[in-house]
Amino acid sequence: MGNGYGIDADTLGRLRVDQLDDYDAIAISVNRLNGVYIWNDALPCFRSLKPTASAGYSILLFDLAQPGAREALRAAWDASPSRARRMPSEQDAE
């Protein structure tokens, strides 16, 4: 995905399950976290966690080292309708 403002980022739904441990933090829009304008809510697991920081007023940052955050990331990935379910070897063969 884009790297506006010098930030390298990826979309959760485009990641393979074996890539989830490669990340140290996740940024989530406040609207998305609260389920606003979202048909398929994949983020309720982050609502009980305290954000580590914020970027402006509408983006919350979660350190994946905090207790429960890594599990919340996996749960969000599992619930994401656009997740990449193929095995890494299947994607590498393309």
CA distance 25 to 61: 7
Across the range 29-51, mean pLDDT stands at: 83
The residue range of the domain holding 30 is 4-83
- Asked whether residue 90 is assigned to any structural domain, the reply reads no
DSSP per-residue string spanning 51-62? PSEEETTTEEEE
Examine residue 58 and state whether it is found in any structural domain, yes or no. yes
In the chain, the number of structural domains is 1
Is residue 92 situated within a structural domain? no
Task: Evaluate whether residue 91 is within a structural domain.
Answer: no
pLDDT of residue 66: 94
Q: Look-up: residue for tokens 């983020």?
A: 43
Give the whole-number percent of the chain exceeding pLDDT 70.
Answer: 77
Average pLDDT, whole number, for the chain? 80
- Residue 38 inside a domain? The answer is yes
Residue 20 lies in a domain: yes
